A and B are shown apart, each in its own frame.
Chain A
Amino acid sequence: MAGITASDTDVVALLMRQHGDIRTLFDEVERATGNERRAAFRRLVQLLAVHETAEEEIVHPFTRLSVPDGEKVVEDRLREERKAKETLSQLDDMDPDSPEFLPALEAFRLEVMAHARAEERYEFNHIRRTAGPARLAAMAAALRAAEAVAPTRPHPGTESAVKNLMLGPVASVMDRTRDAVRKAMGRNG
C-alpha cells in the first residue's frame, strides 16, 4: 500500500488520524447544502460506524484484557458512545436542510469529539504503554482492513470513490467491518 510510514504500524497513530478525518467530515456536512449535505452526512455516519466498530473489535478488547482496570476505562467509553448514538438517531430522523439540523449536528459533533479526546487521553495512552510494537502493528493491520471497507481518504491505486458509493446501509457497513477485522485479527493476532 502506498504512503506507509513507520506510524502506519501503530494503531494509536492511525486512530488519532481517523479522529481528525471525522472532524473534517463534520465541517463538510456543515458547509454543504441539499443533496451534497445528505451525501456528506452519510459518509460521516459510515466512517463513524467503521471507526467505532473497529474500536469495539480491536481496541476495547485489548484494553479490557491488558490494561489495569481496563474494564472500567472501556465502560466509560461505551457510555459516551451510547450517548452519541442517541443524538445520532435523532439527527437521522431530521431533514438535513431543516432549521433544527445544524444545532443538533453541533451537539453531536461536541459529543463525538469529547469521546475522541477521552479515548486519546484515557485509553490510547494506556495501550501504547502496555502493547509492544508487534501488538500495535497487528492491531494497526486489523484497523487498515476495517478502513478498506469504507476508505476514509482516497488510497492511491484503489477504487475508493466507487467503494464509497456502494457502501449501503450503516448496519451492513458495521457487519462488513466486523468481518474484515476478525479475518485480519485471525491472520495477525
Chain B
Amino acid sequence: MGFNPLEHQGIPLERQVRDWRELDVDPVDPDRGDPYTRCRIITMNGIEVEAILFNHQFARHCPDAEVKRQLAQVRYVEAQQQKAVNWLLPGLASVLETTIAYEQVAVDLTGWVARHEPDPYLRQAYEFGVLEDFDHLYRYANLYEMIEHRKAESIVDGLTEVMPGRPTKFHHRDPYDNVRDPYDRGTTDPLSKLHALTIMSAEQQTMNFYMNVGPQYMEPIARRLYQEIGLIEEEHVTHYESLVDPGETWWEQLVNHEYNECYLYHSFMEQEPDPKVRAIWELHLNMELEHLRIACDLMRRHDGREPREILAPELPNVLTFEENKQFVRHLLDTQMDLTTLGAGYVRDAHERFQRMQERIHGGQEPPSEQVMAQHREMFGREYRMETEGPHPDIASREK
C-alpha cells in the first residue's frame, strides 16, 4: 500500500525491447498451477490488447508525427508485453479449457470490482454483468463434459461455483438498451475509472477470443454456442465502454490506461505465488512506470493540465483474485430477473426486449438451451458444481 506510481522511476524506454530469448517464456502447468494465476494471465492479456488497440486508434487520430513516433515506440513494447503474458498459457490446454478460464475471470474479476466499486450506478452495472458471465461458465462447462469428458471443476478448482445464472437466452437485448450513462470524469472517484477500463478490456478480449476460436470447432453445438455467447460479449463491451466518460481527452485516456496497467501489475505482483510469473509482473510494472511517465509528459505538453489532477494520490487497494461465492449467491437470490431499459434496469420483459427476443430466437431454442438438452440426453443430468448448498433461486434448481 501507499505505492504512488508517479513517484517511482521505471526502466528507460530505450532499454525495454526484449530479444527472442527473453520473450520465450515458460508456460504454466495447465493442471497443477493456481487457477487464479491463469486468471491473472488472461486479465493482463486483455489489458495489453486494449493498450495496443487504444494506442493504434490514438495514432490514427494524431496529426503530430513526433507524437505518432513516440506512441509507436511505447506500443511496440506493449506488443512484446502482450506476447510475454499471453504465451504463459500452455499449448496443452484445449480451447474449451481456456474458454472456461476466461469465464472464471469474468465472474471473479467482475465480482471483486462490483464489491469494491464506490459508485452505486456503476456497481449495478457490474452486478448485472456478473450473473451473465456466471451463466456462460455453466453452459461451457456442460459443453466441456460432452466433448472432452472432463468436469469443469478440474479447471476452476472449486474456487468458482458452476450453476445457472441469468439464463443466457435472456441476454439478447435490443442494442438500444445496452448503452449505459457514463461517469463524470470531473467528480468520479479515480478508482471507478480504473474499474471501468479493466472490465471493459477483459470483456473486449473475451469477445475477440470467441469470435476467433468459435469457428475452429467441428462439433455443431460448440460452433453455435460460441456464436451465441460471442454476440453477448459484444453487448457486454457496449455496456461497459459506455460507462467511460467520452469527454476525456486522448491524452487523459492515455494516462488512465498507463496508470491502470501500473495498478494491475502492482496488484498481481503482490499476490502471485508462481515465482516465474511474478517476475514477469514485476518486470512489466517497471516498464509501465516509464510508459506512465511518458503519457504524463504528453498530457502536460498537449493538454496543458497536470495529470495529478485526474489521478488518485496513490494506488488503490490491491485488486485481488479471490472467491466471490457468497456475493454471487446474493446476486442470484436478488437479480436473476433483471434486464435493461434505456440506461436503467427493470424486472419486466418490456416491449423492446420482447421484440428482440422474438427476432433473434425465431421461435426456436437458442444454442445455450440446446447444449443443456443434449447434455441431459447424453448423461441423464446436468453438470453443476454447487459447493455452498443448493441454488439460491428455487426455480433454478436441477429438476
Complex CA gap A128/B151 in Å reads 25
Chain B residues closer than 8 Å to A20, beta-carbon distance: 148-150
User: What 0/1 readout, one digit per residue, does chain B (211-241) give for beta carbons within 8 Å of chain A?
Assistant: 0000000110000000000000000000000
In chain A, what residue has the closest Cβ to B148? A20
Check if B92 sits within 8 Å of A114, measured CB to CB. yes
Is B147 an interface position by the 8 A CB rule?
A: yes
Complex CA gap A24/B91 in Å reads 19
In chain B, what residue has the closest Cβ to A113? B92
How distant is A28 from chain B, measured CB to nearest CB, in Å? 12
Q: Is the interface of A mostly helix, strand, loop or mixed?
A: helix
**Interface residues of A, count at CB 8 A:** 23
How distant is A10 from chain B, measured CB to nearest CB, in Å? 9
Check if B149 sits within 8 Å of A19, measured CB to CB. yes
Please tell me the size bucket of the interface on B: 20 to 34
Among candidates A12, A106, A117, residue contacting B91 with C-beta atoms closer than 8 Å = A117
Complex CA gap A24/B144 in Å reads 13
Check if B150 sits within 8 Å of A23, measured CB to CB. yes
Complex CA gap A12/B148 in Å reads 11
Is B65 an interface position by the 8 A CB rule?
A: no
Check if B147 sits within 8 Å of A27, measured CB to CB. no
Chain A residues closer than 8 Å to B92, beta-carbon distance: 110, 113-114, 117
Is A90 an interface position by the 8 A CB rule?
A: no
Chain B residues closer than 8 Å to A12, beta-carbon distance: 218
Check if B147 sits within 8 Å of A13, measured CB to CB. yes
Check if A16 sits within 8 Å of B378, measured CB to CB. no
Is B94 an interface position by the 8 A CB rule?
A: yes
Given contacts A18-B149, A19-B148, A117-B94, contact A13 B154 (CB under 8 A): no
Given contacts A110-B92, A117-B92, A117-B94, contact A17 B149 (CB under 8 A): yes
Check if A21 sits within 8 Å of B218, measured CB to CB. no
Complex CA gap A121/B29 in Å reads 20
Is A5 an interface position by the 8 A CB rule?
A: yes
Check if A128 sits within 8 Å of B218, measured CB to CB. yes
User: What 0/1 readout, one digit per residue, does chain B (122-160) give for beta carbons within 8 Å of chain A?
Assistant: 000000000000000000000000111111001000000
How distant is B153 from chain A, measured CB to nearest CB, in Å? 10
Check if A13 sits within 8 Å of B150, measured CB to CB. no
Is B374 an interface position by the 8 A CB rule?
A: yes
Complex CA gap A109/B30 in Å reads 11
Chain A residues closer than 8 Å to B146, beta-carbon distance: 7
Chain B residues closer than 8 Å to A106, beta-carbon distance: 32
How distant is B270 from chain A, measured CB to nearest CB, in Å? 29
Is A125 an interface position by the 8 A CB rule?
A: yes
Is B351 an interface position by the 8 A CB rule?
A: no
Is B377 an interface position by the 8 A CB rule?
A: yes
Check if A125 sits within 8 Å of B218, measured CB to CB. yes
Given contacts A13-B147, A128-B218, contact A5 B378 (CB under 8 A): yes
Check if A16 sits within 8 Å of B154, measured CB to CB. no
In chain A, what residue has the closest Cβ to B380? A3
Check if B150 sits within 8 Å of A5, measured CB to CB. no
Check if B94 sits within 8 Å of A21, measured CB to CB. no
Chain A residues closer than 8 Å to B147, beta-carbon distance: 13, 16-17
Within 8 A of A (CB), among B69-128: 91-92, 94
How distant is B372 from chain A, measured CB to nearest CB, in Å? 14
Within 8 A of A (CB), among B1-55: 29-32
In chain A, what residue has the closest Cβ to B146? A7
Chain A residues closer than 8 Å to B150, beta-carbon distance: 20, 23-24
Check if B148 sits within 8 Å of A5, measured CB to CB. no
Check if B148 sits within 8 Å of A17, measured CB to CB. yes
Within 8 A of B (CB), among A125-145: 125, 128
Given contacts A19-B149, A114-B92, contact A27 B154 (CB under 8 A): yes
Among candidates A5, A16, A110, residue contacting B149 with C-beta atoms closer than 8 Å = A16
A interface with B by C-beta (< 8 Å): 3, 5, 7, 12-13, 16-21, 23-24, 27, 106, 109-110, 113-114, 117, 120, 125, 128
A–B complex contacts, Cβ < 8 Å, 11 sampled? A3-B379, A3-B380, A5-B378, A7-B219, A13-B147, A19-B148, A20-B148, A23-B31, A110-B29, A110-B92, A128-B218
